[in-house]
Structures are given as C-alpha cells and as structure tokens.
Structure 1
Amino acid sequence: MRRRGRAGGDARTRILDAAEELFAADGYEATSTAKVARRAKVPKGLVFHYFPQKIDLLIALVEERTFIETLPEEPVEATPGDPAGTLSRLARRLPLRASPAMRRILFREADTHRSVRERLRSLNREVLRRARLALEMALPGARGDAARLEVAAATFTAVLLYQENLSQLTGEHIDPDAVADLIARSLGT
C-alpha cells in the first residue's frame, strides 16, 4: 500500500493517487477519466493504457490500497471475565488498513460495485470471526450458548462497520466502549 506520491513516482501511481482523491471527493460515477488524467498530469490515453475501462481503475484501487488483516485465532486479546474490555480492545484494532480516502470509497461504492462489496464482506467476516472468538475466550462458561454469542458478535460487528461508514459520511462517532459495555451487559456480565 505504499505510494510514491504525485510529485514523483511513475504515471500509474499518479493515476491511482488522482483517482483515489477524486473518487473519495466526488464519487466514482461523477469522476471522469479525463478528470483523473488532468489531476495526474498525464495524457488521457495513458489512463486507458493502464486501466482499459474506468471500472479497472476502481478495482485496482480496492485491490492495491485496502488490506484486511487476518490473524490466526491465538492473537485475539481476550481477558476471561471481561467481555466489555475485550470488545473495546478489539474495536481499537479494526483490521482494515486503508487511507481515509479509501475508506470513504469503500463505503460509498459498495452498493454499486461488486469488487468493493466483496472487500467489505471480507472485512465483515474477519471482524465477526474476531468478535466471536474474543467473546468465547472472555466468557468461557458461555460457549454452550453459542447462539447468543453469535448474535452479540454480529451486533458488535455491525456497529463497528456502521461507525466506520458514519464517521466517513458525517464525522460523527459512536463510542465503541459504550457499545462493548452494552453488549457485555446483555450477555449477563
């Protein structure tokens, strides 16, 4: 995900930088390839050399500039008897690695572009897996109540991803510690 920047770097990188800025600011549909070329200071034909269709530009951004960190099960930080603290720590380690602009693009374009939607599905699956495992480890006696833990993990995941989208759109924030505490209380702790 390292970029060389617009001042230097190769034309392809400048095109991606320009597209990231413009797609984040104006949206994919409202951004023409001519506008991307002007921002990148390259001929329009060069954009099509690297990205034969405009959608290829979006796909390259998503594939190259977003990363979802997957971890083996062991590294989930869980404190037995403290599901609220465990979920709070998990919230601070959202496994999405992307610039603020790329986060905006992901959440804005997920409804209309399959590659973007798939990246968000991967993020949802990873956060849900971590939340479920963290709750199982924090509440070892509750493993027999898998359905409740699954709902709690899914609720926490939904709130985290909603928060990410809300933050990108409005700048508002939901306190993940309060959500973690609410979920822990709902599990009877």
Structure 2
Amino acid sequence: MSDSRTRILDAAEELFAETGYDGTSTARIAEVAAVPKGLVFHYFPQKMDVLVTLVDERTAIEDAYAPDSEAADPAGALRRVAARLPLRASPRMRRILFREADTHRSVRDRLGGLNRELVSLARRALEAALPGARGDTARLEIAAATFATILLYHENLYHLTGDRIDPDAVADLLSRALS
C-alpha cells in the first residue's frame, strides 16, 4: 500500500471519528493527509469509497486460529480472540462504525459481519479450550456472543459514560462460568 494512500486513510479515520463522514470534506482529508486533493480521488473515486475502504481494511480480523495452543485455557483463548480485533487498538474506528452504521448501509453490514466473525472466533476458541463443553452449544454460543458484544461495545460505553469494562476480566468471568 502506498504511503499517500495510507496517509489518506489515516486522515479520514481521524476526521470521520472527530466530525463524522458527512461533516468531513475530501478537501479536508487531503489537507490533513498532506496530499493534493486529486490524489484522494485517484485512490478513491468517490468520498464513499474512502469510508468503505477504511472500514473494510481497518476492521479485518486476523484469523490465525491455532486451537492446539488454547487447550484448557478458555480465558486465554478469549484473550487471543480479543488480540486479533484491530478495534481494540482503535477507539476511533469503533466510533466511526457505530456513528456511520445508522446512515450508511455498507458500514452497518460490516458491523454485523464483524459481530458474526467475533462470535464465531470466540465460539471456536471456547470449543477448543473446553472440549467437554462442545455438547452445550447454547451456553457456548451465549458466552461467545457476550464476549463479542463486550469487545465491540465497551469503547462506546466508555465514550458515552466514562465507564470501562475490561474484556480480559470478562474473559476470566466467562471462563469460570463455563468451566
């Protein structure tokens, strides 16, 4: 990926998180990225392409799944799922996802897909760490969905209320509940 393209996406992430998609012009993106405005359109023919690319590329979950390393450690397995989530390192991307999901279908679809990916990863990690619990699919699914919800929504809770929920503490809690 070119340095200019990365700077454009970095600028868009900063500005969309701060002022929203609708409140951000391509001229402002170019200014913050320190590139000519025409270069923004070279990489992204429409402003919507900037948003879609930003969301798709910066919310991709690394799926380097290694169940053998998670044996008998469900909390550790969930922590490794959390470590794969790029949003954990980017509260701005969370803000963008939740703000823009209301008005942009592509963002809403990505948020739904991200939730499904996280639930699936968490469920697979728990199944590998707790082989005896595989028959209890309902509890595993609830635990996986709970963990995915915490991973996705805890930054929004903090942004709105100042309250923090530690995903590692939730991993420990769910692990004890399932063991």
TM-score bucket (shorter structure): 0.7 to 0.9
> Cα offset for 1:134?
2.0
Amino acid at match of 1:96: P
Change in Cα spacing, 1:75 to 1:108, as seen in structure 2 (3 Å) is farther
In structure 2, relative to structure 1, the CA distance for the partners of 1:148 and 1:60 (3 Å cut) is closer
Q: Give unmatched runs, 5+ long, in structure 1.
A: 5-9
8 Å contact from structure 1 (residues 77, 134) kept in 2: no
1:32 to 21, 25, 36: 25
Q: Of the candidates 50, 72, 79, which is equivalent to residue 71 of structure 2? A: 79
Alignment CA distance shift 1:168-1:106 (3 Å): farther
Task: Note the C-alpha offset of 1:94.
Answer: 3.2
Counterpart code for 2:132:
G
Are 2:134 and 1:143 aligned?
yes
Task: Find the aligned partners of 1:124 and 1:39 in 2 and give their Cα distance.
Answer: 31
Residues 1-189 of structure 1 correspond to what in structure 2 (within 5 A)?
4=3, 10=4, 12-41=5-34, 44=37, 47-72=40-65, 74-75=66-67, 77-80=69-72, 82-91=73-82, 93-96=83-86, 99-167=90-158, 172-187=163-178, 189=179
Distance verdict in 2 for CA 1:15–1:110, change over 3 Å? same
Q: Deviations over 1:1-27 (max 9, x none)?
A: x662xxxxx4x5544343222112111
Q: Distance between the aligned counterparts of 2:53 and 2:117, measured in 1?
A: 22
The percent of aligned pairs where both chains have the same amino acid is: 66
Dislocated runs of 4+, deviation >6 Å: none
TM-score (norm: length of structure 1):
0.72
More displaced, 141-150 or 42-51? 42-51
Q: 1:86-111 CA distances to partner (integer Å, 9 max, x unpaired)?
A: 334433x2333775543432333223
Superposition CA RMSD, Å: 3.1
Aligned residues of 1:68 and 1:122 also touching (Cα < 8 A): no
Number of aligned pairs? Answer: 178
**Whose radius of gyration is greater, 1 or 2?**
1
Structure 1 residues 37 and 137, CA gap change in structure 2 (3 angstroms): closer
User: Paired residue for 1:7?
Assistant: none
Q: SS state of the match for residue 111, structure 1?
A: coil
The 3 A distance-change label for structure 1 pair 51 and 79 is closer
SS in 1 for 2:60: strand
Paired residues of 1:76 and 1:134 also in contact (CA < 8 A): no
Structure 2 letter corresponding to 1:111 = D
**Is the helix fraction higher in 1 or 2?**
2
